[in-house]
Amino acid sequence: MDIINHQNTAPSKVPFAVTEAYKSIRTNLLFLLRKEFGNVLAVTSANVGEGKTTTALNLAIAFSQLGKKVLLIDADLRRPTVYQKAKIPNDAGLSNVIAGFDSFETAVNHVREDLDILTAGKVSPYSSELLGSETFKELLDKLKGEYNYIIIDTPPINVVSDGLVVSALTDGLLFVVREKFTVKDEIAKAISAAEFANIKVLGAILNGTNGKHSSRYGKYGYSKYQNTGEY
Amino acid sequence: MKNITPIYLLTIAWKRIWILILAAVVFAVGTFSYCKILLTPTYSSTASLIVTNGAIVTGSEMQNGSSGEKVSGGDISASIYLAETIIDILNTNDIYEAVAQEIGGYTAEQLKGMSNIQRRNENTLFLDVSFTCSDPTEAKNLANEYVEVACEYVVQFIPYANAKVAATAVTASKVGPTTIKNTLIAAVFGAVVAYAILVFLDQTKKEIVSKEDFIESFEIPLLGAVPDFEGTEYTADTQGEVV
* pLDDT for residue A224: 41
Please give, rounded to a whole number of angstroms, the shortest distance from the CA of A25 to a CA of chain B: 5
Give the pLDDT mean for A123-143.
89
- Chain A residues touching residue B15 (CB < 8 angstroms): none
Q: With beta carbons less than 8 A apart as the criterion, state whether B226 and A24 touch.
A: no
Query: Are the C-beta atoms of B187 and B25 separated by less than 8 Å?
Result: yes
For chain A, say whether B207 makes contact (Cβ under 8 Å).
yes
- Report which secondary-structure segment, H or E, holds A177: strand A172-178
Query: What pLDDT does A206 receive?
Result: 92
| pLDDT one digit per residue (tens) for chain B, 243 residues | 667 888 888 988 998 899 999 999 999 999 999 999 999 999 999 999 988 876 555 555 545 545 445 566 677 777 777 777 888 888 888 888 888 888 888 999 999 999 999 888 877 788 999 999 999 999 999 999 999 988 888 888 787 788 889 899 999 999 988 999 999 999 999 999 999 999 988 887 788 888 888 888 888 899 998 887 653 333 323 333 444
CA distance A14 to B243: 6
Determine, for residues A203 and B225 on separate chains, whether the beta-carbon distance falls below 8 Å. Answer: no
Measured in angstroms, the CA of A57 and the nearest CA of chain B are apart by 7
Partners of residue B116 on adjacent β-strands: B130
Residues ≥6 apart with Cβ < 8 Å to B172: B43, B44, B45, B136, B137, B139, B140
pLDDT at position B69 is 52
Which residues from chain B sit within 8 angstroms of residue A35, using beta carbons?
Answer: none
Considering Cα of B14, then B16, then B19, then B23, what sign does the dihedral take? negative
- B76 or A79, greater pLDDT: A79
Q: How many CB atoms lie within 10 A of CB B145?
A: 19
Q: What does the pLDDT read at residue A226?
A: 40
Cis peptide before B177 (omega within 30 of 0): yes
Start-end of H helices in chain B: 6-15, 17-33, 59-63, 73-90, 93-103, 108-114, 136-157, 179-204, 211-217
Rounded CA separation B153/B90 (Å)? 8
| Amino acid (1-letter code) at residue B229 | F
Q: How far, in Å, CA of A62 to CA of B78, rounded?
A: 98
| B126 and B117 Cβ atoms separated by less than 8 Å | no
The mean pLDDT value for A48-73 works out to 90
The single-letter code of the amino acid at B66 is S
Confidence class for position A33, pLDDT limits 50, 70, 90: confident
Q: Is the CB of B225 less than 8 angstroms away from the CB of A21? A: yes
What does R_g of chain A's alpha carbons equal in angstroms? 17
Mean pLDDT, chain A, whole residue set: 82
Nearest to A209 among B218, B228, B239 (CB): B228
Q: Please tell me the distance from the alpha carbon of residue B153 to that of residue B98, in angstroms, as a whole number.
A: 9
Please check the confidence at residue A117 and state whether its pLDDT lies above 90: yes
Partner-chain residue, chosen from B220, B228, B243, that has the shortest CB–CB distance to A208: B228
- Rounded CA-CA distance A55/B226 in Å is 9
User: By percentage, how much of chain A surpasses pLDDT 70?
Assistant: 84
B228: contact with A, CB 8 A cutoff = yes
pLDDT tens column, A159-181: 888 888 888 889 889 999 998 88
ipTM given for this complex: 0.82
Query: What are the C-alpha distances in Å from A164 to residues A37, A127, B21?
Result: 21, 12, 48
| Least-confidence region, from A143-152, A195-204, B60-69, B165-174 | B60-69
pLDDT greater than 80 at residue A121:
yes
CB contact (8 A) between residue B243 and residue A14: yes
Collect all residues of chain A within an 8 Å Cβ-Cβ radius of residue B206: 183-185
Contacts of A73 (CB under 8 A, 6+ apart): A94, A117, A118, A150, A151, A152, A153
Cβ contact A21–B226 (<8 Å): yes
B234 at A interface, C-beta within 8 A = yes
Q: Which residues pair with B34 in a beta bridge?
A: none
* Whole-number pLDDT of residue A96: 92
pTM: 0.56
Cross-chain Cβ contact A206/B226 below 8 Å: yes
| Residue B183: other Cβ atoms inside 10 A | 21
Quick check: B50 and B58 in contact, CB under 8 A? yes
Task: Choose among B223, B224, B243: nearest Cβ to A9.
Answer: B243
